[in-house]
Amino acid sequence: MGNKILVAGGAGYIGSVVVEQLLARGYVVVVLDDLSRGHRAAVDSGVDFVHGGVGDRAVLDEVFARHGIAALVHLAAFALVAESVAQPEKYFANNVAAGRVLLEAAARAGVRRLIFSSSCAVYGTPSRVPIPEDAPRAPVNPYGQTKLEFERMLVEHADRYGLASISLRYFNAAGATRYGEHHEPETHLIPNVMRVALGRRPAVEVYGTDYPTRDGTAVRDYVHVADIADAHVRALEVDVTGAETLNLGTGAGYSVLDVVEAARRVTGRAIPTMACPRRPGDPPELVAAVGRAGRLLGWQPQRSGLEEILVSAWRWHQTHPSGYPA
The CA radius of gyration of the chain, in Å to the nearest whole number, is: 19
| Closest C-alpha to 99, from 76, 80, 79 | 76
pLDDT digits (tens, 9 = 90+) for 163-198: 999 999 999 999 999 999 999 889 999 999 999 999
Q: What is the pLDDT of residue 268?
A: 98
| C-alpha dihedral (113, 134, 248, 129), degrees to nearest 10 | 170
> What are the sequence ranges of the domains in the chain?
4-173+224-248, 175-220+252-287+303-319
Going by the DSSP 8-state scheme, the letter that residue 288 receives in this structure is B
Estimate the crossing angle of helix 98-108 against helix 142-161, to 10 degrees. 20
Determine which one of 13, 91, 123, 143 is catalytic. 143
| Closest C-alpha to 34, from 18, 49, 19 | 49
pLDDT digits (tens, 9 = 90+) for 18-76: 999 999 999 999 999 999 999 999 999 889 999 999 999 999 999 999 999 999 999 99
Q: What is the pLDDT of residue 222?
A: 98
Asked if residue 128 lies in contact with residue 136, where contact means CB atoms within 8 angstroms, the answer is no
Q: What is the pLDDT of residue 237?
A: 96
| Closest C-alpha to 78, from 95, 93, 64 | 95
Q: What is the pLDDT of residue 46?
A: 83
Active site (annotated) includes residue 179: no
Q: CA–CA separation, 219 vs 287, rounded Å?
A: 8
Asked if residue 204 lies in contact with residue 276, where contact means CB atoms within 8 angstroms, the answer is no
The three-class DSSP label of residue 222 is strand
Question: Do 175-220+252-287+303-319 and 4-173+224-248 have the same topology in CATH?
Answer: no
Give me the average pLDDT of each 10-residue run along the chain (326 residues): 90 98 97 97 94 98 97 96 94 98 98 98 95 97 97 97 97 98 93 97 98 97 98 97 98 98 98 95 93 97 97 98 92
Would you say domain 175-220+252-287+303-319 falls under CATH 3.90.25.10?
yes
For residue 203, the one-letter residue type is A
CATH of domain 4-173+224-248: 3.40.50.720
Q: What is the pLDDT of residue 1?
A: 60
Q: CA–CA separation, 20 vs 92, rounded Å?
A: 29
pTM higher than the cut 0.95: yes
- Residue 28 sits at φ, ψ, to 5 deg, of -95, 130
| DSSP states along 74-104 | E------HHHHHH-HHHHIIIIIIHHHHHHH
